[in-house]
Amino acid sequence: MRLSARNQLSGSVVAAHAGVLTTTVKVQLEGGATMTSSITKEAADELGLEVGKPVIVVVKASDVILAVE
């Protein structure tokens, strides 16, 4: 698969928690950092997501916001 998005990070699923409509997926990236994604349950089922499965995290955002207190 080829995508125009350049922010593609390789990793593997370390947790997937399915709700009624959405699934929260935690991915450990190469290097040890983690990212969490919330996707539809239908998409998670279609992708066959399970712990240990390799995935590519694609980040596409027009804004990146930082905050401090």
Q: What is the pLDDT of residue 56?
A: 94
Report the share of the chain in percent with pLDDT over 90.
75
Q: What is the pLDDT of residue 38?
A: 92
Look at residue 46 and tell me whether its pLDDT is greater than 80: yes
Look at residue 5 and tell me whether its pLDDT is greater than 90: no
Q: What is the pLDDT of residue 17?
A: 97
| Residue 37, Ramachandran bin (φ over 0: left; ψ between -120 and 50: alpha; else beta) | beta
Residue 27 lies in a domain: yes
pTM exceeds 0.95, yes or no = no
Report how many domains make up the chain: 1
Residue 3 lies in a domain: no
> Domain range spanning residue 27?
8-58
Query: What rounded mean pLDDT belongs to the chain?
Result: 92
Residue 43 lies in a domain: yes
Element of type H or E holding 38 = strand 34-40
- Domain of 36, CATH number, reads 2.40.50.100
